[in-house]
Amino acid sequence: MSDWPPKPQNESQQISPQAQQPTGNEWKLLEKAVLASVEEQRRARRWGIFFKFLTFAYIFLLLVIMGKGCSTTTTNPSAASPHIAVVDIVGTIASDKQSVNSNDTIKSLKKAYENSNSQAVVLNINSPGGSPVQSDEIWQEIQYLKKQHQGKKLYAVIGDTGASGAYYIASAADEIIVNPSSLVGSIGVIMPNYGLSGLMQKMGVEDRTMTSGENKALLSMTQPVDPEQKKHVQAVLDNVHGHFIQAVKDGRGAKLKSQDPAIFSGLFWTGEQAVTLGIADKIGSLNSLKRDLNLDKTVNYTIEHSPLDSVLGRMGAAVGEGFATSLSQHIQTEQNAKLQ
């Protein structure tokens, strides 16, 4: 009799376990294939890192070349013959490289004074002022350079504006030349501050500022002004203002024709009025000065930084960081492969 019910075919046929396992040769082929795949991936990663680095290096080099092309150099063949040395005080006075800063300005002035072919030094001024610290550092260095090079006069030529910190610097010059319509003066100090406590109360915003030190929240916009703190800040501003006034008096000396306190009150005047008050010497320009000194050549010694400089710095850091990250990942992958 036949078996009933019929048995499934997979149960009736028994497969030997040894038949399911690959032989030694098969294992070797499989191992070679896997190792070849891993090695190919390693090669691909190496080439990937190389081409990334090459691309970053190319972009970085391109930006460097562009930056060099945009930068203004002070190398001038005219510096080898008699000339007027010019140093620009143009724009806001501050510590950053894109502004008029003491570090670059002092370097420019030193080069201008030390060149034996420069017959005079001119401060080309068109600035509303800025940092009193940067202005004073430049003023102090000018006084030193004038003593070291007593035969070389310093002129300040004011264009549209020579106010506040810019006039601080100009006051160190032997002679201040202005346009009749130049804005000159503004001998004072300012510290802007705003109060938002009333607005915050209307909007239902609570100030939860915490401090260690009773005056640490000095001039906080979110708190009412404390009379004692205000008095302290005013004393600080008055002290800085006193330095400004003394610098102008030392620089101008007997040239100040008026003793009117308004001169040091923060007011500004036209160039014509400034000459009358004695805070400027005469009406003129760089061109008229060239005629007076009988010199046609001018050489600009100003150190100028391309706007790309800061971009290049960040780009260099990004390239280094990206390359280091890629290299670290590559080394880590190889170590993991060896462990496996």
Q: What is the mean pLDDT of residues 26-55?
A: 75
Strands 183-185 and 282-283: unpaired
The amino acid sitting at 10 is N
Q: How would DSSP label each residue in 169-219? A: HHTTSSEEEE-TT-EEE-----------HHHHHHHTPPP----SSTTTTTT
CA distance 104 to 307: 15
Kindly report, residue by residue over 112-126, the tens digit of the pLDDT.
999 999 999 999 999
Q: Is the pLDDT of residue 12 over 50?
A: no
In which region does residue 185 sit, left (phi positive, over 0), alpha (psi from -120 to 50) or beta (all else)? Answer: left
For residue 129, the number of C-alpha atoms closer than 13 Å in the C-beta half-sphere is 22
Q: Is the pLDDT of residue 294 over 80?
A: yes
- The domain segmentation of the chain, as residue ranges, is 27-68+310-339, 73-206+215-305
Kindly report, residue by residue over 125-163, the tens digit of the pLDDT.
999 999 999 999 999 999 999 999 999 999 999 999 999
Question: What number does CATH give the domain 73-206+215-305?
Answer: 3.90.226.10
**Integer angstrom CA distances of residue 286 from 133, 176, 190, 264:** 28, 11, 31, 27
Task: Look over the chain and give the mean of its residue pLDDT values, rounded to a whole number.
Answer: 83
Lowest-pLDDT choice from 13-17, 53-57, 136-140, 228-232: 13-17
More confident residue, 12 or 189: 189
Q: What is the mean pLDDT of residues 33-38?
A: 75
CB 271 within 8 A of CB 184: yes
Lowest-pLDDT choice from 85-94, 165-174, 201-210: 201-210
Alpha helices in the chain (DSSP H): 9-12, 17-20, 24-70, 102-114, 132-148, 165-170, 197-203, 227-252, 271-277, 286-293, 308-339
From the number of C-beta atoms within 10 Å of its C-beta (0-12, 13-18, 19+), residue 216 rates as exposed
Q: What's the pTM?
A: 0.70
